[in-house]
Structure 1
């Protein structure tokens, strides 16, 4: 299943696998089980390759939690 993460209130959690180029834009690949989600790429993701990430999208932006658990570093 391929999903572009664009919906308000969308919550995703999975393992950051790598980045990919789609046309001229770079996306991060978040894997969960046999599914993956393409999300807007950020340079900080590369330091967390292979680790779990959590994403929550709201009207005012996207919040990320990087690493396992909620106590890890986060970016907005």
Structure 2
């Protein structure tokens, strides 16, 4: 489970239900993190996500962003 102040990133794989609630599984390489489920995550299933844990919430950055384009 992610703790406050921790940055998480990886691929949003699937929701998991536990007795304590519903969580999203975020996988990175051979590691994973469980984060509290939010409806916004459903749109990003199978895609790259990252976020910053703040208290009981997460500020999400969903999907990869394009970097600067260099043209010649």
Moved over 2 A (4+): 58-62
Deviation at 1:61, TM superposition (A): 4.1
Aligned length: 66
TM-score relative to the length of structure 2: 0.79
Contiguous gaps of at least 5 residues in structure 2: 67-72
TM-score relative to the length of structure 1: 0.76
CA RMSD of aligned residues (A): 1.9
Aligned to 2:17: 21
5 Å-filtered alignment, 1:1-76, equals 4-5=1-2, 7-59=3-55, 61-69=57-65
Contiguous gaps of at least 5 residues in structure 1: 71-76
